[in-house]
Structure 1
Amino acid sequence: MDRFVARLDELLPDDELIRIAAELTAVPSFTGEESELADAVRLLLVSNGFHAYGQEVQPGRRQTIGLLGPPGRPALLLNGHLDMDPLGRDHPADPFVARRHGDKLYGAGLHNMKSGVAAILAAALAVARSGIVLRRSLLLEFVVGELQGGVGTRFALASGLTADAAVVPEPYSVRRVITRTAGVHKFGLVVRGRTAHTSRHAEGVDAVAVLRQVLDHLDRSDLGLHNPDFPPLPRLQIGGIVAGRGETHELSGISYLADKATALIDIRYPPPFEPDDVAVAVEAAISAVRHNFPDAKITIDNPPEPGFRIGGSAMPPMDVSPNSPIVTDIAALLPEVSDFSVTETGLALPFSYCGNDTTHLSRAGIDCCLFGPRGAGPDTEHHVLISEMRACARTLAALIVHRCA
């Protein structure tokens, strides 16, 4: 291991790591549109001696799997998602062109989580180039749809892919190794009313007005999903509202009452609660006010309509010991290969309010954690710290050698 660590500057140069991150940034990969990036990652792996192949998760929607080492159950899995968040209005210009400012690398999707994907790729390439013979294999997963509840990781697990341990380099800083996270429950709250021209307002049932009142009630409701380790959960967020005429929410007829209104909702909730607990609590809260609106139809869509691209995979909480072997390994290796050290393990608030693919991996019996590069300051979600991306990549490379060689 000491000899490998001494060669990391040669095997994993900064300029190559930054180039990989920039190339990932250059390929837009919004949810449902990840295939081009998956193909680019697969070609990179194949050209560097990896066995790599695509998995078609849905028709025309591909993710990439890579393997290095001998046959048999992999000792280590590195998992990163290819889908990226939608861009906000405040995103810098030229979002798909990576730009360096000191220790910060800016670009769309780098925060969540193309910098983590770059760290995985750079670490794996460094090990492949080192000439070290792996006794057990390394499994790489570059998955789709993490933002939809983890559809890609669930697909990979269902196809039989597994490992002894896994790391998912989500953007919560290399100073943290997180093993306890919230669950994520996404659904659509739909009100169907009756359209009428504004001149005959009293003859209709305004779906927007009903939805507003139901949302106010839901926001005030105590869903009973409490854990003192996770204040202030449960947390309800209304991420989007659309209303209009007909089942497609036609927007042009604003002289008429909307007869369909949909709110897209994200609820974060703590362990030990499960998706069914949340569904029951939400249904009870809404049922308590349905009688107030006898002429409206109020329903819960779980999953929401496919056109919203939210997905429907349940993403329960992860609640794993902070003293697990994979956490111990990372905490020991990080200061050997970088100037960083781990200062938080297990629960790290507010970062543990996240939901991610570790929940699916841990429930499949894989010892796993979150450990990945992050930015700093008020524009954190627009960049990554190169120093953290380097530290993550070097730690993952050392972890591969430690676990697989």
Structure 2
Amino acid sequence: MAIAHAPPTDVQKQVLARIDEDEVVRLACDLIRIPSFTTEETPCAEWLGNYLRDQGLAAELQEIEPGRKQAVARLHGTGGGRSIMLNGHIDIDPLAGGWTRDPFQPWIADGRLYGHGIYNMKAGVTACIMAALALKRSGVRLRGDVVVACVAAELNSGVGTIHAINHGYRTDMAVVAEPYGARTIITKHTGTMDLVVHTLGRATHISKKEQGVDAISKMMRAIAAINAMKLTHTHDPELPGLPRLNVGSVIGGRGRSYTLRGAYTVSDFCSCYVNIRFNTSQSGDTIVADFRRTLDALAAEDPEFKYEIEFPPEPSRGLGRLAKAAVDVPVTEPVVQMVKRNLRTLSGQEPEHLGVRLPQSYAGNDTTHLWQAGIPCCLYGPGGGYTDYHDVHTNLDELFLVTRVLALTALEAAA
């Protein structure tokens, strides 16, 4: 619903005038063309480092792990003002089948920009960059710094954002441009963690199968118990679907390297990868304890049931290595009110969702690390969608609106 709102000021107009929608689209398309799956972000980070430097920002490549890089840039203020981070991750979701065109060759149709990685979340990264560049090009003097963090590893625990915070980029506030919609500001969401459960068996030839212990059969029992498990928690009516978990992968074979040849041999090792979403009453410790309690009950019933819990998962698995805490930032925080106010200035509307939005609040993100570091923050980014993880797209009208809102929010924060 439209409401009365103040028009942009002359200074705001000066900044907004430096946002070129064609340039926004060009940058988004360039980012689509660079595959940057989790652990494979370096080529995209290096491209962004060069791009940001070419645009006049003070940019650096950070090596968060050996050979694994991210790009962070700063628009320096004159001093004495508040600083703000515009944060987006460059690692992208796994590539699913079913695409109707090359997923790394962008195309536009019906007001949507298509290409893998654009939804989660290279559109948000684009908005952060173009907002900062609009401020620089406007010539408006800022007292505070504006940081653009194009981080790696959000999809496996957010170690990129942690690295940025701990290596020179701690700011007074932050906006993470996750793809929840240009009229949505999220401040409350799930915690998330991955763990691995192993079942141990005894390998024998099929001719002596009765003398073996089948790790795969034991895992089937374990998965049934995990899916039926009641996790210890206090119910949160704003997040009624929590806690929840998903057994996402299962592999079994011979030995801890999962030798798959020799199907005539009983499996002696099987693993399942589990993702858990939880609320503020839970932690990684309470969740591991719940898993252990559940699996111990199976072992008490079956002396041949042997298991191990792997947490944190080994880095080679590509899973999250941290228990990312649930977040509940007060909507009264200044950065939240700035985003809300600037959305109203530009659209004439209040946000459709403020605080919690379902099911989006059942997703984890890097505000966990920012909030735990004492940095007030919120989620605000362009929406879009996908069909079963293919034909991924962002809505261009939302991309343009978010870019403008972020520019005015950074202007207000760092003025």
Which of 377, 383, 394 is equivalent to 2:404?
394
Q: TM-score, normalised to structure 2's length?
A: 0.93
Is 1:346 matched with 2:355? yes
Distance 1:379 1:71, change over 3 A: farther
Residues 123-160 of structure 1, C-alpha deviations (whole Å, 9 max, x = no match): 11111111112111111211111111111111222224
Which of 301, 304, 323 is equivalent to 2:313?
304
Tell me which residue corresponds to 2:93: 85
Tell me which residue corresponds to 2:219: 211
Distance 1:9 1:99, change over 3 A: farther
Give the deviation of 1:247 after TM superposition.
1.0
Residues 318-374 of structure 1, C-alpha deviations (whole Å, 9 max, x = no match): 011122211111111113234764111111111111111001101111110000111
Residues 68-109 of structure 1, C-alpha deviations (whole Å, 9 max, x = no match): 113768511111111111011233431111110021111001
Which of 238, 242, 252 is equivalent to 2:247?
238
SS in 2 for 1:121: helix
Which of 273-282 and 49-58 deviates more?
273-282
Distance 1:84 1:389, change over 3 A: same
Tell me which residue corresponds to 1:34: 41
CA distance in 2, matches of 1:379, 1:200: 43
| C-alpha RMSD of matched pairs (Å) | 1.8
Tell me which residue corresponds to 2:18: 11
Is 1:369 matched with 2:378? yes
Tell me which residue corresponds to 2:58: 51
SS in 2 for 1:222: coil
Distance 1:293 1:91, change over 3 A: farther
Tell me which residue corresponds to 1:138: 146
Distance 1:99 1:214, change over 3 A: same
Give the deviation of 1:67 after TM superposition.
0.6
**2:58 partner letter:** H
Residues 356-399 of structure 1, C-alpha deviations (whole Å, 9 max, x = no match): 10011011111100001111575787111011111111111111
Which of 164, 171, 175 is equivalent to 1:163?
171
CA distance in 2, matches of 1:260, 1:307: 18
Give the paired residue count. Answer: 405
Which of 216-225 and 295-304 deviates more?
295-304
CA distance in 1, matches of 2:42, 2:385: 30
**2:72 partner letter:** I
Conservation of the 8 A alpha-carbon contact between 2:32 and 2:115: yes
Is 1:285 matched with 2:297? no
SS in 1 for 2:384: coil
CA distance in 1, matches of 2:220, 2:319: 22
SS in 1 for 2:230: coil
Give the deviation of 1:239 after TM superposition.
1.1
Tell me which residue corresponds to 1:150: 158
Give the deviation of 1:227 after TM superposition.
2.3
CA distance in 2, matches of 1:9, 1:386: 17
Is 1:106 matched with 2:114? yes
**1:167 partner letter:** V
Residues 140-193 of structure 1, C-alpha deviations (whole Å, 9 max, x = no match): 211111111111111222224211110000011111111111000210011121
Is 1:385 matched with 2:395? yes
